[in-house]
Structure 1
Amino acid sequence: MDLETVMQELEALGKERLKKMYMNNGAKEPVFGVATGAMKPIARKIKKNQPLAEELYATGNYDAMYFAGVICDPPIMTEEDFERWIDAAYFYMLSDFVVAVSLAETNFAQAVADRWIESGEELRMSAGWSCYCWLLGNRQDAEFSESKLASMLDQVKNTIHQSPDTVKSAMNNFIATVAISFVPLHEKAVETAKDVGLVEIKKGKKKSTVSNVSERIQKEVDRGMLGFKRKYVRC
């Protein structure tokens, strides 16, 4: 399938209700409003296709950029490719759910995520924290430095309330992910969540929400999810 054919198929799947929802979250025109599940039949036909993914991502169309993340081939992507992708990611649904997810499938994910977290740029920072969430939820504990993750929890505790909204959200997710998916630091993450308390987050045009990460962690523990690892990063 070529770029034109894929764009036509995506446009045909667009729904006005979803388009409005994506735009309320921060998407900008052009947007078709395609449900992520509706993309799967096209993805099955294409499988992985990095050249086509690059063409789709370069369109600036939100749905095409998202679909690029579905069919891209992260192991053959370079750090420079990811810098280019994060530069073009203009809101959190691209930075955290396309770029960060794809980055998590590379062998240099932690190095790039560390650099982005320290960048001072909102979407790079949120992508960096989100990448760690995808990594921790998929890879074995032995692949991570316990002392480094402990230091990152302290960083979250000390900076979350002064951080931009998308970064707050990603940091919140980081606390919860460490608590559930990195068992050696479960107790420290639980204590960090208590210290952080309630976090007010506003994304796009939506109303502010208040997150209680302690409650979220407890619910996951009650569900028997402690130690959870997903088989794949991308579904």
Structure 2
Amino acid sequence: MTLKETLEQLEALIDERTRTHNIKKGVGDNQYGVKLGDIRKVAKKIKANHALALDLWKTENFDARMLAMLIINPKELSVNELDAMVRSVTYVRVADWINSYVVKLHPDNETLRQKWMLDDHPMASRAGWNLTSQRVNKNPEMIDIPALLDRIENEMSMAAPEAQWTMNFSLVEIGVHHPDYRRRAIEIGEKLGVYSEYPSVKGCTSPFAPVWIKEMVSRQV
């Protein structure tokens, strides 16, 4: 399937309600407004196509980029290529998809994690803290948890919103999965108050770290 054919297929799937919702969430005019489920169906038909994925990404179209991440081969990206892709992202939904479907699967993501953890670019920092949250949960031997808590305490309240979200998630992961540091994680959350007034949907746990940690720990019992 060519780039032109793929874009035409996406355009044929325009859903005005989705487009309006995307705009409310900060997505600009460079989008069609395709339901995520429909994007997944298109990806399933195309399967893996690295070259097409790169062409889709270059369009900067929201829907095209979401599709690109489902058909790209992360292992074929160089460290510099992936770094550039992460920095080119302008919407957090795209950032979360690239972190889940591309960054997470890249063979050199630890090299990038260490680089991004020292970076002020909001999307690079978001990706770095996202990977760090995974290390906290699955590979804690790779990180210094007390040092992470120090950074969160000193930096989270002033961090860019894009990075603040995944930094907060790292704090929660520490509190949930490392009992020895749970009290300090909760105290940091209470001290900073980040997301303490976040409007939560009924039935969903608040992203305020002390509440989130206690809720997740209660489910372990």
Normalising by structure 1, what TM-score?
Answer: 0.78
In the TM superposition, 1:68-83 aligns within 5 A as 68-83=68-83
Conserved 8 A contact 1:104-1:135? no
1:161 CA drift (Å) = 0.5
The root-mean-square deviation of aligned C-alpha atoms, in Å, is 2.7
Structure number, greater radius of gyration: 2
Q: Which runs of 5+ in 1 are unaligned?
A: 203-209, 227-235
What's the secondary structure of 1:104's corresponding residue?
A: helix
Separation of aligned partners in 1, 2:136 and 2:13: 33
Q: Deviations over 1:33-61 (max 9, x none)?
A: 22222222222222221111101100110
Amino acid at match of 1:161: S
The residue number in structure 2 matching 1:191 is 184
Normalising by structure 2, what TM-score?
Answer: 0.83
The residue number in structure 1 matching 2:36 is 36
Conserved 8 A contact 2:87-2:121? no
Matched, 1:222 2:218: yes
Matched, 1:145 2:142: yes
Alpha-carbon spacing, 1:19–1:43, altered in 2? closer, same or farther (3 Å): same
Conserved 8 A contact 1:193-1:214? yes
What's the secondary structure of 2:194's corresponding residue?
A: strand
Identity %: 19
Q: Deviations over 1:127-157 (max 9, x none)?
A: 21123335666xx437x424x2442232112
Alpha-carbon spacing, 1:187–1:48, altered in 2? closer, same or farther (3 Å): farther
Separation of aligned partners in 1, 2:51 and 2:135: 25
Amino acid at match of 1:153: L
What's the secondary structure of 1:152's corresponding residue?
A: helix
Q: How many residues align?
A: 212
Conserved 8 A contact 1:7-1:64? yes
The residue number in structure 2 matching 1:94 is 94
1:85 CA drift (Å) = 0.6
Conserved 8 A contact 1:53-1:69? yes
Separation of aligned partners in 1, 2:134 and 2:24: 25
Q: Which runs of 5+ in 2 are unaligned?
A: 198-205
Separation of aligned partners in 2, 1:214 and 1:145: 25
Amino acid at match of 1:223: R
The residue number in structure 2 matching 1:23 is 23
Matched, 1:171 2:164: no
Separation of aligned partners in 2, 1:177 and 1:5: 43
Bigger RCO (CA 8 Å, 6+ sep): 1
Amino acid at match of 1:196: G
Q: Which moved more, 1:171-180 or 1:102-111?
A: 171-180
Alpha-carbon spacing, 1:128–1:4, altered in 2? closer, same or farther (3 Å): same
Amino acid at match of 1:141: N
